[in-house]
């Protein structure tokens, strides 16, 4: 019920939602609102999955042309008037995209074979819907498809998506299956597809798409709770360079298989008296594996039991942190925690088979293989958070990364991978800090030597991102490789993380070598302009230089000099010195936040959003910056800016995320920040302390200990930290050691109205 | 040696080659000249295969743009100056094409990565060559690649192609592998490919192409006799709609795998002192199966032994007929017999796996699955010839056809299929007469009931070629379906063949029904114009009508009214009556042959060639026509025209075939005709008698009997049959019963100078 009430606020344009006077549902999952992020730039999906599940079964409102698709990266935009159907795979919060596999649409009455125009009701199979009919909960989604009068409910298991459709009385019920559309659609994306109806009524198939991960194969197996009365399989392809001869396959047929690029099927069920259930398993490996996944995990036809299982899985997952706070605070917090637990996603079939970056099928022995690795985003806070909350999962993640490198034709750790395949999106070798941070946080259960070997390989493979020149001259020359400034900075941090792990393992030579490399940030520091800048091979800084300029493929990655010049998390003191000392350093951060910036300047770089001055909270490069005041002895400024960021960049609205959630990174930033600390330099073993945003939180660490955060006097009138103690002892600096967190204990804040400037 | 001698004649433009005074090689294979058909419109390939083998390893001189590729359907044209490389799959004599998989080129010295321009030496990896260096024998091909000084030899096993390369001293030896080119190449044909170098040096991979059979997957496994010193794998793709992010995969890499659309590899071997052997197995199923095929069939490194095996296989296959004649006669005859035995091709892996028209992998139990079915061509003479020569193979062919129907999403027998997949090319359901003819020729070892069921299904599936209307109104209406006239004629014949088999099986109802349908030819007979003509749904003949007009998609299939109006092989007496009796009938055949026709009229229909008047020997629809004089009581005209056709349409030259060999049909016509009889209506159990072109032939029938043809006084001065006896008894008519052939015996001709007009 709460959701409907919230909805009214949203439609009225309320900025911050009040959660009401009483919580009907005391459980963590009752506080989650999956609508947050489904509007604006959040790019999250509202549909059903289990934590880190293979299936993300969610409504798609548009799968648009790839030239205008950024906003539809999760298939759904809250402002859209129609639903195309329910597809089984989605990224959560990505900036680029793909997926939207195996689109299903329940239809009552006449069937149209094209999705049609959202602005023209009845022009296609898509249906209008009203938000008042939607129910969004972790692991559950429901909506009424108004054009058909069909009530649709979705839930999910690990590898199986469950649909329950109630059709209006007396109208013929159909299920349309469309294997053509994809998120980020474009001509020829589906290279080949197959669709097969087995003798037992199981519908199965695969499609190969040439999308973000080229040559991706996604297979599925689908069963219905009631027998089909008829079926028609279509090959709807037109206008291809070479079509060959027209066989009967290009006509609608009622037979058992179709192969082609543009397959679609309509399954008829006649007038139904009971709900129709559909269960669909997917597999990134094979059709046989999809059938096996369905058989092993999709027994029976009890939708409610499956829904209860999904809820229980979420309640278990979210119970790692008990938060006290207002309903709004709890909703914001648990929705963020929910978003943190959507990726990486399971990519192992029930049999243990998985597909690796070599496109081959491998067997995962003794672990689950996870993929969906947006490493550039999640190494910052999402993976460090899971390393302490869920070391059991973190170990599986690390094993997945390491076997990926072993399976890689290049021997490289994932950069941006999903369903096992590599996309080479973004920069850096940030699987390195993910592994190093996990190792230093005490995560075990993986072969550290093999991991270190893969890390070194990733950090020394010359053809990747011009590491060849980086290793030779200490920076990535902009005349040879785009985004040379940001690449140099991020490589240097990754090198430092690698050195940290090598040092901890006693591999001194490796540690020394990569520590040396971690100082390479200095090669792009221009003391004259006071910014990090790209250099050409001859050592000159790249000109002309405009610290405000940002463009894809420029000197920086999704950012400008203002945004990127802070990226030395491994040596903030060094950066402070370079920038002329503490005074100048903090004045420059102030200037970052206080600048008057016309957001239109970034209209060509979609990812830069959530602006406060130049500071862009909607993208990752500045996520650590607000905590840098701590290093310069001005923690009250960190506290002040955090209040400003939390108030302006997160809200209980569909567009309540200021930028892409980025596979949980935006949300992980929220969780850490709400708890009062943040990993500025993952793998450092240290957190910078900010200010808490909840009055009490008990963090049930994966190691069995509990770490409790409490805050006295916490309210909007008391946004500053007056005192902070760890287990009763005052913290000497605004930093917290990871070992102290892992040991369990209490971090106690006393909040006050004014900054504590000493 | 003989080949070099022949070559000189060819270069001198000699029309008919003299075989020399003495045969050095008395064996049948010594008489075969695989160059015949490799120039002009023959479209045969000169390379190495075993009878009906899966591998056709042959040089490609061009794999051209699909808009201008007809002449290069076998990858090689005799007049071309350069060789691009040696690929492992080729059709023999096809009019449309595909294949050219797994192109290999040995290179000494510098490596260029593009094939380059044949007119610009050194512009690419292709090499000039001279015919004087070529050796073509069944199962063996050799050539010197002049640009590299590399001597290349090829031979083949069933599933393995063998290469032996001798590199010039002191130059670095390389093998280039290009997975991009195909025959009938066009943009985007390769949907996806994979290339992998195993730890043991085995190179394997697959590619999916969207060609004639869309979604075809062809895999391979390759081993080298000497270790590589280095290797570089390339992804050479440019300019695709969505390329994604550039990873190191788009740069040449020395690692173990590549995946993409445009893969290429260069394997380096340093300066070699011994020949380099390359062995490559293919599989239409999987990479693992290709490796398995190579392991099971490709042991060791004895090229000469493999060559000897291939020779032995051919000698065994060709020994089914012993022919006496001049060297020229023997060369013409055995080359034709060789061409008859190149297709269909083995499409079962060593494991028994094959891919069916549903694109799924099936297991062949107790038989080998063969594909490459150009049914429109080969049902006429090639399959009827093999049914009596090789009933053992014919049974396997029929089983392959029947399981194809069982595996088909539509339940249909192959139309034009290869590697198990359907292309829907050409018209009719001519697998029906192939099976019926085999059954009536006594071929057993297949499930006749299952076969009949598939035949009926193929003949009654409404969506195929407008069978729906054909069954309703008795003809294919041209306003609904192109080529309605020829489709009606051929369906009617197929129906008759089906009825013949059903009758023999005692299935009276089916026999009656299809006998009735076989009279449908009358629905397209226009007594007013005296031609077979298309009708519209309303029963009117299609206008305007021009009996000379021919175009793709017109009223006729690769022909005009003159060429198609004879197609009632199942009821020639009925046709004679329709045409106004014997006089008018034979006068009209005379008019067919004697017309003065400008070949330019057919410039838009490539397949119509080999013209004598309107008669087109280079294409199939008229192949039976010359024998129709027999039915009208003028066998001497059959004899006269046969002499004319044999003298003008077959020659010992690369362009010695007047049209596409069409998977052995042109050559099978030659074999039957040279023996003195021809199956005008396959499945009739009857042959029309012509005149022999060899003085003695012993046909070793598959049933163990021998059927001997002898001809007294046979020479150019005695082209007419004076007398003909079967086992000493005069033949009452110029027809021969198949049962008499199968029983063994002797058909004896006495030739004379003048026609025996009574």
By C-alpha distance, the chain B residue nearest A462 is B248
Task: For residue B194, give the nearest of A194, A253, A359 by CB distance.
Answer: A359
Q: Which residues contact A152 (CB under 8 A, 6 or more apart)?
A: A86, A106, A142, A143, A144, A145, A163, A164, A165
Query: What's residue B9's pLDDT?
Result: 31
With vertex at residue B8, the alpha carbon angle to CA B6 and CA B13, rounded to the nearest 5 degrees, is 100
Residues of A in contact with B253 (CB under 8 A): 409-410, 463
**Pick from A292, A316, A340: which residue ends a domain?**
A316
With vertex at residue B295, the alpha carbon angle to CA B392 and CA B201, rounded to the nearest 5 degrees, is 150
By C-alpha distance, the chain B residue nearest A412 is B248
* Residues B222, B79 share a domain: yes
Task: For residue A214, give the nearest of B260, B416, B425 by CB distance.
Answer: B260
Domain with residue A281: its CATH number is 2.70.98.10
How close A239 gets to chain B, by Cα (Å)?
14
The answer as to whether B676 is a domain residue is no
CB A563 within 8 A of CB A615: yes
* Residues B274, B150 share a domain: yes
How close B161 gets to chain A, by Cα (Å)?
26
Residue B5 has pLDDT above 90, yes or no: no
Rounded Cα–Cα distance for residues A551 and A646 (Å):
27
Task: For residue B409, give the nearest of A208, A210, A255 by CB distance.
Answer: A255
Q: What does the pLDDT look like over B382-422, one tens digit per residue?
A: 999 999 999 999 999 999 999 999 999 889 999 999 999 99
pLDDT band at B214 (very low <50, low <70, confident <90, very high): confident
To the nearest 10°, report the CA torsion of A536, A537, A540, A546. 10
Please give the C-alpha separations between residue B170 and each of B106, B167, B173, in angstroms, as whole numbers: 15, 9, 9
By C-alpha distance, the chain B residue nearest A254 is B410
Rounded Cα–Cα distance for residues B186 and A165 (Å):
45
pLDDT band at B244 (very low <50, low <70, confident <90, very high): low
Interval B255-281 mean pLDDT: 92
The answer as to whether B49 is a domain residue is yes
Counting every residue written for chain A, the total comes to 758
Instruction: Pull the structure tokens for residue A90.
Output: 């989605």
Please give the C-alpha separations between residue A743 and each of A732, A739, A749, in angstroms, as whole numbers: 18, 6, 19
Beginning with the edge strand found earlier in the chain, give each strand of the sheet holding A677-678 in spatial order: A677-678, A686-689, A735-737
* Residues B146, B73 share a domain: yes
Task: For residue A244, give the nearest of B214, B255, B412 by CB distance.
Answer: B214
How close A246 gets to chain B, by Cα (Å)?
6
Burial classification of residue A212, based on how many CB atoms lie within 10 Å of its CB (0-12 exposed, 13-18 middle, 19 or more buried): buried
* Residues B443, B304 share a domain: no
Q: Where are the beta strands (DSSP E) in A543-616?
A: 611-612, 615-616
A428: left (phi over 0), alpha (psi -120 to 50) or beta: left
Contact state of A259 with B410 under an 8 Å Cβ cutoff: no
Beginning with the edge strand found earlier in the chain, give each strand of the sheet holding B686-689 in spatial order: B677-678, B686-689, B735-737
Residues of A in contact with B188 (CB under 8 A): 188, 241
The answer as to whether A277 is a domain residue is yes
Q: Which residues contact B653 (CB under 8 A, 6 or more apart)?
A: B10, B14, B15, B16, B17, B36, B39
Residues of A in contact with B241 (CB under 8 A): 186-188
Instruction: Pull the structure tokens for residue A296.
Output: 């092993």
* Residues B234, B167 share a domain: yes
* Residues B409, B278 share a domain: no
Q: Which residues contact B657 (CB under 8 A, 6 or more apart)?
A: B36, B37, B40, B41, B42, B44, B93, B618, B649, B650, B666, B667
* Residues B198, B83 share a domain: yes
User: How many beta-carbon pairs below 8 A join chains A and B?
Assistant: 143
Question: Which of these, A463, A209, A359, lies nearest to B195 by C-alpha position?
Answer: A359
Q: What does the pLDDT look like over B497-523, one tens digit per residue?
A: 999 999 999 999 999 999 999 999 999
Residues of B in contact with A358 (CB under 8 A): 196, 256-257, 259
Query: What's residue B26's pLDDT?
Result: 79
Q: Is B212 an interface residue toward A (CB < 8 Å)?
A: yes
Contact state of A187 with B424 under an 8 Å Cβ cutoff: no
The total number of structural domains that make up chain A: 2
* Residues B366, B310 share a domain: no
Q: Is B425 an interface residue toward A (CB < 8 Å)?
A: yes
By C-alpha distance, the chain A residue nearest B190 is A191
Contact state of A463 with B251 under an 8 Å Cβ cutoff: yes
Contact state of A409 with B260 under an 8 Å Cβ cutoff: no
Rounded (to 5) percent helix, strand, coil in chain B? 30, 25, 45
Residues of B in contact with A423 (CB under 8 A): 244-245, 247
Rounded Cα–Cα distance for residues A450 and A711 (Å):
43
CB A653 within 8 A of CB A10: yes
Contact state of B424 with A194 under an 8 Å Cβ cutoff: no
Q: Is B95 an interface residue toward A (CB < 8 Å)?
A: no
How close B559 gets to chain A, by Cα (Å)?
18
Residue B184 has pLDDT above 90, yes or no: no
Interface of B with A in 61-80 (CB under 8 A): 66
Percent of chain B at pLDDT exceeding 90: 87
Query: What's residue B449's pLDDT?
Result: 98
Contact state of B257 with A425 under an 8 Å Cβ cutoff: no
Owning domain of residue B306 = 33-316
Burial classification of residue B308, based on how many CB atoms lie within 10 Å of its CB (0-12 exposed, 13-18 middle, 19 or more buried): middle
The answer as to whether B341 is a domain residue is no
Residue with tokens 């297709």: B343
By C-alpha distance, the chain B residue nearest A212 is B244
Interval B552-579 mean pLDDT: 96
Residue B249 has pLDDT above 80, yes or no: no
Burial classification of residue A484, based on how many CB atoms lie within 10 Å of its CB (0-12 exposed, 13-18 middle, 19 or more buried): buried
* Residues B183, B135 share a domain: yes
Residues of B in contact with A192 (CB under 8 A): 191, 208, 210, 214-215
Residues of A in contact with B422 (CB under 8 A): 247
Q: Is A214 an interface residue toward B (CB < 8 Å)?
A: yes
How close B230 gets to chain A, by Cα (Å)?
16
Contact state of B248 with A463 under an 8 Å Cβ cutoff: yes
Q: Is A212 an interface residue toward B (CB < 8 Å)?
A: yes
Three-state DSSP state, B395:
helix
* Residues B308, B202 share a domain: yes
Mean pLDDT, consecutive 10-residue stretches, chain A (758 aa), reads: 29 35 69 97 97 98 78 95 98 94 98 95 96 98 98 98 97 97 85 92 95 92 97 81 59 71 95 97 97 98 98 98 95 98 98 95 96 98 98 98 94 96 94 98 98 98 94 98 97 98 98 98 98 98 95 92 98 98 98 95 89 96 98 98 97 95 98 98 98 97 97 97 98 97 98 93
The answer as to whether A539 is a domain residue is yes
A696-700 and A321-324 strand pairing: antiparallel
ipTM value greater than 0.85: no
Query: What's residue B254's pLDDT?
Result: 61
By C-alpha distance, the chain A residue nearest B249 is A410
* Residues B415, B268 share a domain: no
Rounded Cα–Cα distance for residues B344 and A304 (Å):
56
- Is the dihedral angle over the CA atoms A469, A471, A475, A476 positive or is it negative? positive
**Pick from A543, A565, A587: which residue ends a domain?**
A565
Rounded Cα–Cα distance for residues A63 and A628 (Å):
40
Contact state of A191 with B194 under an 8 Å Cβ cutoff: no
Q: What does the pLDDT look like over B595-639, one tens digit per residue?
A: 999 989 998 888 899 999 999 999 999 999 999 999 999 999 999
Query: What's residue A603's pLDDT?
Result: 87
* Residues B309, B187 share a domain: yes
Q: What does the pLDDT look like over B25-47, one tens digit per residue?
A: 678 999 999 999 999 999 999 99
Rounded Cα–Cα distance for residues B429 and A248 (Å):
13
Contact state of B211 with A242 under an 8 Å Cβ cutoff: yes
Residue of A188, A257, A375, A460 best to disrupt the B interface, most CBs of B under 10 A? A257
Q: Is B409 an interface residue toward A (CB < 8 Å)?
A: yes
Q: What does the pLDDT look like over B16-27, one tens digit per residue?
A: 333 433 445 678
Interface of B with A in 462-481 (CB under 8 A): 463-464
Domain with residue B405: its CATH number is 1.20.1050.60
Instruction: Pull the structure tokens for residue B326.
Output: 């001049």
Interface of A with B in 260-279 (CB under 8 A): 260-261
By C-alpha distance, the chain A residue nearest B217 is A192
Rounded Cα–Cα distance for residues A39 and A652 (Å):
11
Q: What does the pLDDT look like over B120-149, one tens digit per residue?
A: 999 999 999 999 999 999 999 999 999 999
Query: What's residue A66's pLDDT?
Result: 65
How close B552 gets to chain A, by Cα (Å)?
12
CA end-to-end span of chain B:
48
| Kind plus residue range of the DSSP H or E element containing A103 | strand A103-108
**Pick from A548, A565, A582: which residue ends a domain?**
A565
Residue of A203, A208, A244 best to disrupt the B interface, most CBs of B under 10 A? A244
The answer as to whether B339 is a domain residue is no
The answer as to whether B466 is a domain residue is no
How close B66 gets to chain A, by Cα (Å)?
9
The answer as to whether A498 is a domain residue is yes
Domain with residue A551: its CATH number is 1.20.1610.10
- HSE-CB of A741 using CA atoms within 13 angstroms: 28
């Amino acid at each position: 019920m709460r959701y409907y009430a919230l909805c009214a606020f949203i439609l009225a344009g309320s900025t911050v939602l009040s959660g009401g006077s009483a919580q009907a549902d005391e459980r963590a999952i009752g506080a989650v609102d999956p609508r947050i992020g489904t509007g604006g730039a959040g790019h999250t999906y509202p549909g059903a999955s289990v934590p880190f599940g293979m299936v993300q079964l969610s409504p798609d409102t548009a799968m648009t042309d790839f030239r205008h698709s950024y906003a539809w990266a999760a298939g759904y935009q809250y402002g859209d008037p129609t639903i195309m159907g329910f597809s089984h795979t989605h990224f959560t919060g990505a900036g680029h995209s793909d997926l939207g596999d195996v689109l299903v649409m329940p239809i009552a009455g006449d069937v149209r074979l094209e999705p049609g125009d959202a602005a023209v009701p009845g022009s296609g199979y898509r249906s209008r819907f009203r938000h008042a009919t939607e129910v969004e909960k972790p692991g559950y989604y429901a909506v009424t498809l108004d054009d058909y009068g069909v009530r649709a409910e979705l839930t999910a298991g690990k590898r199986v998506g469950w649909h329950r459709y109630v059709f209006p009385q007396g109208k013929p019920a159909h299920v349309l299956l469309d294997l053509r559309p994809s998120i980020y659609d474009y001509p020829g994306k589906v290279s080949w597809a197959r669709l097969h109806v087995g003798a037992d009524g199981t519908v199965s198939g695969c499609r190969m798409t040439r999308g973000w991960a080229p040559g991706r194969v996604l297979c599925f197996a689908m069963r219905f709770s009631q027998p089909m009365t008829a079926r028609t399989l279509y090959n709807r392809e037109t206008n291809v360079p070479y079509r060959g001869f027209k066989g009967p396959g290009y006509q609608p047929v009622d037979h058992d298989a179709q192969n082609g690029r543009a397959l679609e099927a309509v399954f008829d069920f006649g007038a139904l008296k009971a709900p129709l259930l559909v269960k669909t398993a997917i597999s990134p490996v094979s059709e046989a594996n999809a059938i096996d996944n369905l058989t092993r995990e999709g027994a029976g036809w009890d939708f409610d039991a499956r829904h209860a299982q999904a809820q229980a899985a979420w309640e278990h997952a979210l119970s790692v942190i008990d938060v006290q706070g207002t309903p709004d605070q709890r909703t914001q917090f648990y929705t963020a925690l929910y978003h943190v637990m959507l990726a990486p996603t399971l990519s192992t079939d029930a049999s243990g088979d998985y597909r690796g970056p070599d496109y081959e099928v491998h067997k995962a022995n003794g672990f689950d293989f996870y993929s969906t690795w947006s490493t550039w985003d999640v190494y910052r806070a999402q993976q460090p958070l899971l390393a302490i909350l869920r070391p059991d999962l973190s170990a599986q993640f690390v094993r997945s990364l390491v076997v990926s490198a072993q399976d890689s034709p290049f021997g490289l750790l994932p950069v941006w991978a999903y369903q096992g395949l590599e996309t080479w999106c973004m920069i850096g070798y940030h699987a390195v800090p993910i592994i190093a941070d996990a190792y230093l946080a005490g995560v075990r259960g993986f072969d550290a030597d093999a991991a270190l070997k893969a890390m070194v390989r990733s950090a020394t493979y010359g053809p990747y991102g011009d590491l060849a020149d980086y290793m030779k001259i200490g920076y990535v020359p902009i005349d040879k490789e785009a985004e040379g400034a940001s690449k140099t900075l991020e490589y240097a941090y990754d090198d430092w993380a690698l050195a940290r792990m090598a040092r901890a393992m006693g591999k001194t030579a490796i540690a020394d070598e990569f520590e040396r490399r971690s100082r390479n940030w200095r090669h792009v520091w221009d003391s004259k302009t006071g910014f990090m800048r790209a250099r050409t091979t001859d050592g000159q800084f790249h000109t002309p230089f405009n610290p405000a300029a940002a463009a894809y493929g420029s000197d920086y990655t999704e950012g400008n000099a203002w945004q990127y010049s802070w990226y030395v998390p491994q040596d903030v003191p060094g950066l402070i010195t370079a920038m002329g000392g503490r005074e100048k350093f903090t004045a420059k951060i102030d200037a970052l936040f206080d600048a008057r910036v016309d957001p239109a300047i970034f209209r060509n770089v979609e990812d830069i959003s959530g602006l406060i001055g130049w500071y862009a909270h909607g993208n990752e490069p500045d996520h650590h910056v607000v905590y840098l005041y701590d290093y310069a002895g001005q923690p009250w400024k960190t506290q002040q800016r955090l209040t400003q960021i939390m108030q302006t960049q997160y809200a209980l609205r569909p567009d309540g995320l200021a930028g892409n959630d980025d596979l949980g990174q935006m949300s992980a930033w929220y969780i850490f920040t709400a708890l009062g600390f943040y990993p500025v330099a993952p793998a450092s073993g240290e957190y910078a302390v900010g200010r808490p945003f909840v009055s009490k939180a008990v963090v049930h660490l994966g190691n069995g200990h509990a770490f409790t955060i409490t805050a006295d006097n916490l309210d909007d009138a008391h946004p500053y930290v007056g005192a902070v103690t760890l287990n009763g002892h005052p913290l000497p600096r605004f930093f917290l050691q990871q070992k102290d967190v892992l040991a369990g204990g209490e971090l106690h804040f006393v909040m006050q109205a004014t900054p504590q400037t000493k």
